[in-house]
Amino acid sequence: MLDDRVLGALALLFGDERPFDRDERGYLTLLALHCAQGLERAHLYGSETRARRAAEAAQGRAAFLSRASAVLGSSLDYEETLGNVARLAVPSIADWCVIDLVGDDGHPRQVAVAHVDPAKVEFAREVLRRYPPVPDDRTGVTSVLRTGAPELYPEITDAMLVASAHAGDHLRLLREVGLRSVILVPIKDRGRVLGVLTFVLTALDRHYDRDDLRMAEQLGERAGAAIANATLYAEARAAIRAREEFLLVAGHELRTPLAALSLHVDALLDLRDDASIPSVRQRAHKLRAQTDRIARLVEDLLDVSKLTAGRLELEREEVELGGLVREVLGRMREEAERARSPVVLAIDPVHGHWDRSRIDQIVANLFANALRYGKGHPVQVVVRRRGDHAVLVVSDLGIGIAAEDQARVFERFERAVSTRHFGGLGLGLSIVRELVAAHHGTIALQSAPGRGATFAVSLPLAT
């Protein structure tokens, strides 16, 4: 006993009968007390040792997390940074460290592997190549990617390896890896799972616990933030490049009509005093054409500004789409003649409730696009009613658009061709898509290189 607490019992057995007097009983009681004191000292020493080890482990985790955070912030090349983190984890907190990110196809893509024995890194990659993760696995990398929940396995048993092995010699390879204790945590950015961090211990005397799991989760959050920052930086750089290219193109596009405008003004100024009215009117028409071109460029820029700020408002009214299309094409007849593109019409009268000026803009942009890229080839314009929708189709037989570029041509300042050979700001189709969406309609594109392009707009008739 110690402090009125019973710690155990000391039993002495004898082969013969013998009496126990007071002194002997006192001696045995003292012996039991010494045993109790020895047990207490051993208990205190064990508690102190465990506390010291726990403190050292916590200090090691904190130090690793601090170093890993510094590595994550050292570069905007996040794949290289994650590789450095994996190498930093071995052997301080793991014998194996594997980092997977979600690929473009939605499947895990291994970006980093580290092991205490560098020769085994290639072995791990070979195992992955031969037995990639299965999308519906109940545990492991794909499970963490699917659920976003971490997984902690303090002790990996052979039965667990048998349950997780695929066909063939997968089980043998798993046993060769020597899994003893495993942690898998998601790499997240604002709730979105970007990848998985996997830490593995192979020594029998080391096991992961809840504290290790919390440290790994913190690292996963910091890795997610680092990837997000790198992605935002790359997007910002791309936006800056796009802006610079746009400014160059916009300057060129504005300078061309301004130069022509200046030439026509000079020609007017040089006319003789007795110049005929028709010659003056001819120059005036050319001036009007150039000022209209500048006005369209400025309107496109203003529309982009409104769409970006969310200030686009529709003024709906009853519109007969077929008549509006004929009006727009008549206004652009000279452009079609300059492009040497005959226009084929198949137009039915279709009434709907739309913003007349914005529908005018949709038709003009699609027709101008067909003339630009289908120059010298016929352009077909179709207006039909299909159920409770109006359908506008503009087709050309020009250069066409590759499949990989078809989504991109609807983005602002984007084109599938070089700016050297084709003018424009790269805003027309982007504005069309936004205006169609504002009317709750859809736009579809069918095209192939050398076979022209067909844009089909579907607009609901009612509000």
78-105 average pLDDT score: 87
CA count, 13 A, side-chain hemisphere, 319: 24
User: What's the CA gap between 375 and 422, in Å, rounded?
Assistant: 11
Most confidently modeled of 9-23, 250-264, 296-310?
Answer: 9-23
Give the per-residue pLDDT at 309: 59
Contact 185, 218 (CB under 8 A): no
233-261 average pLDDT score: 73
User: What's the CA gap between 150 and 233, in Å, rounded?
Assistant: 28
Can you say how many angstroms the Cα of residue 38 is from the centroid of all Cα atoms in its chain?
63
Residue whose entry in the numeric block shows the structure tokens 């000391």: 10
Q: Write out pLDDT tens, residues 156-206.
A: 888 888 888 877 788 888 888 788 999 999 999 888 999 999 999 988 778
Instruction: Write phi, then psi, for 439 (nearest 5 degrees).
Output: -90, 10
Give the per-residue pLDDT at 343: 93
Checking if the pLDDT of 419 tops 80, the result is: no
Higher-confidence position of 55 and 96: 96
CB atoms within 10 A of CB 90: 20
> What radius of gyration do the chain's Cα atoms show?
38
Instruction: Give the tokens for residue 304.
Output: 């982009």
> Which of 150-154, 167-171, 248-252, 296-300 is the least confident region?
248-252
35-54 average pLDDT score: 86
201-213 average pLDDT score: 88
- Please, what is the average pLDDT of the chain? 84
Can you say how many angstroms the Cα of residue 342 is from the centroid of all Cα atoms in its chain?
44
User: What's the CA gap between 416 and 302, in Å, rounded?
Assistant: 23
Give the per-residue pLDDT at 413: 61
Angle formed at CA 112 by CA 92 and CA 179, multiple of 5 degrees: 55
Give the per-residue pLDDT at 122: 81
CB atoms within 10 A of CB 174: 20
290-319 average pLDDT score: 74
Report the b/e string of 381-394 with b at 16+ CB within 10 A. Answer: bbbebeeebbbbbb
pLDDT interval class at 75 (50, 70, 90): confident
Q: Write out pLDDT tens, residues 369-391.
A: 899 888 889 999 999 999 999 99
Give the per-residue pLDDT at 245: 67
User: What's the CA gap between 315 and 356, in Å, rounded?
Assistant: 8
Checking if the pLDDT of 454 tops 80, the result is: yes
Can you say how many angstroms the Cα of residue 216 is from the centroid of all Cα atoms in its chain?
23
Give the per-residue pLDDT at 38: 92
- Note the residue count of the chain: 463
In angstroms, how far is the first alpha carbon of the chain from the final one? 89
Instruction: Give a three-class secondary structure readout of the chain.
Output: CECCECCCCCCCCCCCCCCCCHHHHHHHHHHHHHHHHHHHHHHHHHHHHHHHHHHHHHHHHHHHHHHHHHHHCCCCCHHHHHHHHHHHHCCCCCCEEEEEEECCCCCEEEEEEEECCCHHHHHHHHHHHHCCCCCCCCCCHHHHHHHCCCEEECCCCHHHHHHHCCCCCHHHHHHHHCCCEEEEEEEEECCEEEEEEEEEECCCCCCCCHHHHHHHHHHHHHHHHHHHHHHHHHHHHHHHHHHHHHHHHHHHHHHHHHHHHHHHHHHHHHCCCCCCHHHHHHHHHHHHHHHHHHHHHHHHHHHHHHHHHCCCCCCEEEEEHHHHHHHHHHHCHHHHHHCCCCEEEEECCCEEEEEHHHHHHHHHHHHHHHHHHCCCCCEEEEEEEECCEEEEEEEECCCCCCHHHCCHHHCCCCCCCCCCCCCCCCCHHHHHHHHHHHCCCEEEEEECCCCCEEEEEEEECCC
56-81 average pLDDT score: 82
> Which of 40-49, 248-257, 430-439 is the least confident region?
248-257
Give the per-residue pLDDT at 394: 95
Closest C-alpha among 426, 70, 1, 114 to residue 248? 426
Give the per-residue pLDDT at 421: 45
Residues of the chain with pLDDT > 90, as a percent, come to 30
Checking if the pLDDT of 108 tops 60, the result is: yes
Checking if the pLDDT of 152 tops 90, the result is: yes
Checking if the pLDDT of 260 tops 80, the result is: no
Checking if the pLDDT of 286 tops 80, the result is: no
Residues of the chain with pLDDT > 70, as a percent, come to 90
Higher-confidence position of 401 and 296: 401
